[in-house]
Structure 1
Amino acid sequence: MPQTVTDDRLVSLLAQEEARFVDLHPRSAALAREARTHLLSGVPMAWMTRWPGPFPLFLQEASGAHFRDVDGLSYLDLCLGDTGAMTGHALPQVAEALHAQALRGITTMLPSPDAAWVAGELARRFGLPKWQLAMTATDANRFVIRLARQLSGKRRILVFDYCYHGTVEEALVMQGEHGEVLPRPGNLGWGAHPSELSRVAQFNDLRGVEDALRHGDVAAVLTEPALTNIGIVLPDEGFLAGLRDLCDRYGAFLILDETHTICAGPGGATREWGLQPDFFVIGKPLGGGMPTAAYGMTDDIAGRLAPFLTGVDVDVSGIGGTLTGSALALAAMRATLSSALRDEDFARAVPLARAWADGVQGVIDRHGLPWTVQVLGCRAEYWFCPAPRNGREAAAAGQPLLDAYLHLFLLNRGVLMTPFHNMALLSPHHTQADVDRHTEVFAQAVASLLA
């Protein structure tokens, strides 16, 4: 950030935007006051308190790449439910499938005819032959970790510093200054010290990965093909192939969580980059916004697991859930996978993401800012530093006040970015005009900082 922009100036600018936000949203303000009566933190999920502004917006309706709040204001949505709605909001095919299935029954603990179709489509897209369902990617990651431990007889999971895999306890960790495993700040109520469950390495550091695996107690390496929740951190050339080799050498399973990196293409980074995971996890967009997730595995692993997953006590295995794999969820997944997240959808969304990044880069270059834009498929993100190679570098470059100001400036002018970081997700429903609108407002925001 240029030296001429002080924290005091940012505080003053942010206060102006907060006042504007309050003036624009009287109905949301009233609903927020009402919500605080009985909702913990005043929101359905506590992290919603981190949206920019003194209170969250309350949604009226969303469609395609736009939404409207209860005060009647319309927005360009570049968040898309942080990937949950990357297909676009209110897909007619999904809405129709949900309505039709709801009239036939929502959940019965029995498989529906959609089950085999969904599993076959997942196998076709992502290349792993055997699949099971979950409610969320967090659940799927937890299930796969259990399965990896069961087969390996090992306890620890290796993750990367500043990774994110939902509320998986083994991943809510960080690496200390001396390489020790610590609970990540904000990790509430952990039941065992993270060092008992996890090992941590730096992304793009194969030597560090090997040092962790040499202990011989790692059941699996859990990672995204590219980090996405601490800014987009792309893998170095050869890093993922080296990771595969190290897992084979030290007897650890490789789990790829593609819940966000599905943005790389219809088959995720796994298909786009020719990766070979042992387990594959995906959630969020699979149901067009409905809570659904899935995890896949190789034939060899499925065969080894069969004795454990067909026994009389499989219902208390720690894997499953009464509402998981419901007829409603399967109907949503079939409708989504047959009408969205296809080659033709990415053929439209990916160029828009590149255009978005080009627009941001143009503003950065015009002002000589030391910022970086990264693109991963139809996802793009800017960061206030040169391109980081791992989560630690990305986290060290964070500027919370600047983040808050840019987010709120854009929101007050009808552009919603993903909370917690500066990410835009483009869908087939976005247009070049939407991209140009973001570039225009982003340019105004940057100019206001340097005025």
Structure 2
Amino acid sequence: MKDSDVTRDTDVIAGVSSQRLRALALREGARFADVRPATRAALSHGAQSWLDGVPMHWMKDWPMPFPMLVAKARKALLTDLDGHRIDDFCLGDTGSMFGHSPAPVAKAIRKQAHQGLTYMLPTETALEAGHLLTERFGDFRWQIATTATDANRFALRVARAVTGRPKVLVFNGCYHGTVDEAMVALHDGRTVPRPGLTGQVADLTQTAVAVEFNDLAGVKAALATGEIAAILTEPVMTNSCMVMPVAGFHDGLRALSRDYGALLIIDETHTISSGLGGYMAVHGLDPDIFVAGKCVAGGMPTAIWGLRIDVADRFAAYNTTRAAGHSGMGTTLSANPMQFACLRATLAEVMTPDAYAHMETGAARLEAGLSAAIARHEAPWHVVRVGARVEFICAPGPLRNGTEAEAAHQPVLEGVIHTCLLNRGCLIAPFHNMMLVSPVTTPKQIDRLIAAFDDTLALLFGPDED
């Protein structure tokens, strides 16, 4: 049982009265449902064909009484089936970080649609995209995948191939999509499979080791076994309550990986919000393999992974010894021409210094406003920011590792907050409390979110109503 599950039955959750929380949940849930008759009618007639009523299971993770149906999205604004206009700070959980359908990407889609969607051969645009990837992220030898999960899987195969080692070191509470090796946790100091995995039969502890984030001593002990092919890490832990690296942590990872002959893989699928070139460029990290996905092609399903030159050379040498047959890498629709058209447009015209400057300014405004609201209502919470990515965390901070992040997560409380914000015209990510500021997010939208958050805190912490 998680710590967050235990707190559900206590009188106070992160400073909020449980009784008040239950009453607010009922009231805000009813408010959401009452103003969405068209959505409710559409779901009652059209959702039966989908498993559990939704095309992807995590669509049920939103705290709403029933899913919201989107009619259209433009810039940083959603319109639902009932005509409600909603400021979007979720932005597809980073997939639309640069706004919905950026004009250069939409233009590229229209053009490529007339030239074919997939044909298993490169294009001149693919060559241009490769140069742009190197210009933006550094000197790597690139490959394309459809999702960051796939990119991480392929990168791990390369790491095992060139090192001849079986295991991957990941951090407790990490996020790397649905990569098997990331589905482990620490329990009483031991690596164990994460609870709740569907249909899991293989022993994940044979291929992965979990260590706490920011624990260089733990990393060193794991590497000293000689079994670790790669360290797979985010620069900042993001799919938990966000955890920042302590001073010297990334330098220590780089040094230890070299000392013990393991490859360092940096997955920036979420931290690409950090600035132009991602956290790696902003903070001078030097991975052996770089991975990113979600927003790199403006929302078109695309991921990138690249090998430093020496690793690419080692992999080429390995390939000369490999028996003929399937490599276990690659999918038929990956590296299709539509991906390259959108990737080129995003890298050249959307992912720009000016875009990131706007995002940074807006995110700083949001961080300050949320922090001020928390202080005004004396909530025992804190706010953390990585570039354009902002989170409020319903616990004191800063958090140091995955165990602390799990304990800080309060899903019942957070769900009520999310519904309150949505009822006030603001959408944030359903997974924890992530908010993104895009290049097309306006100061007025940011101020509306701050006001909605302040109003929600007043409901949670203000005087009892008569």
Q: TM-score, normalised by structure 1?
A: 0.97
Runs (5+) with no aligned partner, structure 2: 1-11
Q: 2:239 aligns with which of 211, 229, 240?
A: 229
Query: 1: CA distance between counterparts of 2:438 and 2:15?
Result: 37
Q: Secondary structure at the match of 1:231?
A: coil
Segment of structure 1 superposing worse, 302-311 or 384-393:
302-311
**What's the counterpart of residue 446 of structure 2?**
435
Q: 2:336 aligns with which of 293, 308, 326?
A: 326
Q: 2:429 aligns with which of 413, 418, 425?
A: 418
**What's the counterpart of residue 363 of structure 1?**
373
What CA deviation, in whole Å up to 9, does each residue of 1:403-432 have, x standing for no partner?
A: 011000001111000112111100110111
Q: Secondary structure at the match of 2:305?
A: strand
Q: 1:27 aligns with which of 38, 56, 65?
A: 38
1:151 Cα shift? 0.8
How many residues in Structure 1 have an aligned counterpart in Structure 2? 450
Question: Does structure 2 retain, via aligned residues, the 8 Å contact 1:169–1:190?
Answer: no
Question: Does structure 2 retain, via aligned residues, the 8 Å contact 1:232–1:376?
Answer: no
Q: Structure 1 residues 2 and 317 mapped into 2: Cα distance closer, same or farther (>3 Å)?
A: closer
What CA deviation, in whole Å up to 9, does each residue of 1:105-125 have, x standing for no partner?
A: 111110011111111111111
Q: 2:206 aligns with which of 196, 209, 216?
A: 196
Write the mapping of 1:47-446 to structure 2, written as runs, cut at 5 A.
Answer: 47-177=58-188, 179-308=189-318, 316-385=326-395, 386-446=397-457
1:311 Cα shift? 8.8
Q: Secondary structure at the match of 1:418?
A: coil
Segment of structure 1 superposing worse, 140-149 or 393-402:
393-402
Question: Does structure 1 retain, via aligned residues, the 8 Å contact 2:13–2:413?
Answer: no
1:32 Cα shift? 2.4
What CA deviation, in whole Å up to 9, does each residue of 1:367-412 have, x standing for no partner?
A: 2222111110011111012210111101101212210110000011
Q: Structure 1 residues 314 and 73 mapped into 2: Cα distance closer, same or farther (>3 Å)?
A: farther
**What's the counterpart of residue 41 of structure 1?**
52
Q: Secondary structure at the match of 2:114?
A: helix
Question: Does structure 1 retain, via aligned residues, the 8 Å contact 2:39–2:69?
Answer: yes
Q: Secondary structure at the match of 2:440?
A: coil
1:338 Cα shift? 1.1
Question: Does structure 1 retain, via aligned residues, the 8 Å contact 2:14–2:394?
Answer: no
Question: Does structure 2 retain, via aligned residues, the 8 Å contact 1:118–1:330?
Answer: yes
* Paired letter, 2:403: R
Query: 2: CA distance between counterparts of 1:301 and 1:322?
Result: 25
What CA deviation, in whole Å up to 9, does each residue of 1:335-365 have, x standing for no partner?
A: 1111112111011111110110100010111
What CA deviation, in whole Å up to 9, does each residue of 1:305-348 have, x standing for no partner?
A: 12455899777201111111001110011111111121110111
Question: Does structure 1 retain, via aligned residues, the 8 Å contact 2:89–2:426?
Answer: yes
Query: 1: CA distance between counterparts of 2:66 and 2:157?
Result: 39
1:441 Cα shift? 0.6
Q: Structure 1 residues 360 and 94 mapped into 2: Cα distance closer, same or farther (>3 Å)?
A: same
Q: Secondary structure at the match of 2:221?
A: helix
Query: 2: CA distance between counterparts of 1:124 and 1:153?
Result: 31
1:36 Cα shift? 3.4
Q: Secondary structure at the match of 1:34?
A: helix
Query: 1: CA distance between counterparts of 2:271 and 2:201?
Result: 30
* Paired letter, 1:65: A
Q: Structure 1 residues 181 and 113 mapped into 2: Cα distance closer, same or farther (>3 Å)?
A: same
Question: Does structure 1 retain, via aligned residues, the 8 Å contact 2:91–2:100?
Answer: yes
The answer to whether the aligner puts 1:447 opposite 2:441 as a matched pair is: no
Question: Does structure 1 retain, via aligned residues, the 8 Å contact 2:141–2:307?
Answer: yes
Calculate the aligned-residue CA RMSD, in Å: 1.6
